[in-house]
Amino acid sequence: GENVEQHPSTLSVQEGDSAVIKCTYSDSASNYFPWYKQELGKRPQLIIDIRSNVGEKKDQRIAVTLNKTAKHFSLHITETQPEDSAVYFCAASMNSGNTPLVFGKGTRLSVIA
Amino acid sequence: GAVVSQHPSRVICKSGTSVKIECRSLDFQATTMFWYRQFPKKSLMLMATSNEGSKATYEQGVEKDKFLINHASLTLSTLTVTSAHPEDSSFYICSARDPPQGPQYFGPGTRLTVL
């Protein structure tokens, strides 16, 4: 089955700097890669996703890149703000309705003002 | 995005009792829902895939007789933790995809504490 590795486990950046979180996956059949942000005690919130027919996707300060050949994808947050502080999870799955997401172990991002 | 609700949000029970958690898709129909468990400072671990009108598919290591799942309608799945013990204390979260090949949306979670 699918296995998702995520690095780093913790990341501290100064406000205004960029943050990059990287994930690798094992199943070449996976074709859907979402990123979730989870604040303490809250549900994971989808922040951006990418499908395997696209190499990069951007939404304001957030971007995701995908390298299918190498089986890795990354989350980029630019101009970080204190409210970006949270745990971020990457995930991978096949793009079908009954296929669950397999999550990475998460990255705790701290943005220092 | 799609809205998934969960009830209750928090429950405290004595060891040996059973607890039922409801997961509802509010503005869409979900033939498949997913149940995850999350321990403090850990990732989301898939417990089972709930299928409307048929048996749930459990992940390896998850006891199907302990974690009973029922998906009786296109908008409701329930997870019953039977004979709960302190080690079952965790954050239980359900999710569903909308549309079926679309993003996966999570409920707000249920924090279970077994004394």
**Digit-coded pLDDT (tens) for A16-61:** 999 999 999 999 999 999 999 999 989 999 999 999 888 999 999 9
To the nearest whole Å, the CA of B40 is away from the closest chain A CA by 9
Chain A residues with CB inside 8 Å of B97's CB?
97
Neighbours of B77 (CB within 10 A): 31
Which DSSP symbol is given to A93?
Answer: B
From A68-72, A91-95, A106-110, B29-33, the region with the lowest mean pLDDT: A91-95
Asked if A108 and A10 count as a contact pair (C-beta separation under 8 A), the reply is: yes
Measured between alpha carbons, how far is A22 from B73 in angstroms, rounded to an integer? 38
CA pair distance B67, B16, nearest whole angstrom = 13
Exposed/middle/buried for residue B6 (C-beta within 10 Å: 0-12, 13-18, 19+): buried
Partners of residue A34 in chain B, C-beta under 8 Å: 103-104
Tell whether the model's pLDDT for residue A1 goes beyond 90: no
Residue-by-residue pLDDT tens, chain B, 115 positions: 789 999 999 999 999 999 999 999 999 999 899 999 999 989 999 999 999 988 999 999 999 999 999 998 999 999 999 999 999 999 999 999 888 778 889 999 999 999 9
Q: What residue in A sits closest to B10 (Cα-Cα)?
A: A41
Structure tokens at B89: 């204390």
Cβ–Cβ of A89/B44 closer than 8 Å? Answer: yes
Quickly count: other Cβ atoms within 10 Å of residue A33's Cβ.
27
Mark yes or no for CB contact B42/A42 under 8 Å.
no
Task: Determine whether the interchain pair A44/B31 forms a contact, defined as Cβ–Cβ distance below 8 Å.
Answer: no
| Residues in CB range of B84: below 8 A, 6 or more apart | B13, B15, B16, B17, B18, B19, B112, B114
Q: Is A58 within 8 Å of chain B by CB?
A: no
From chain A, the residues in CB contact with B47 under 8 A are: none
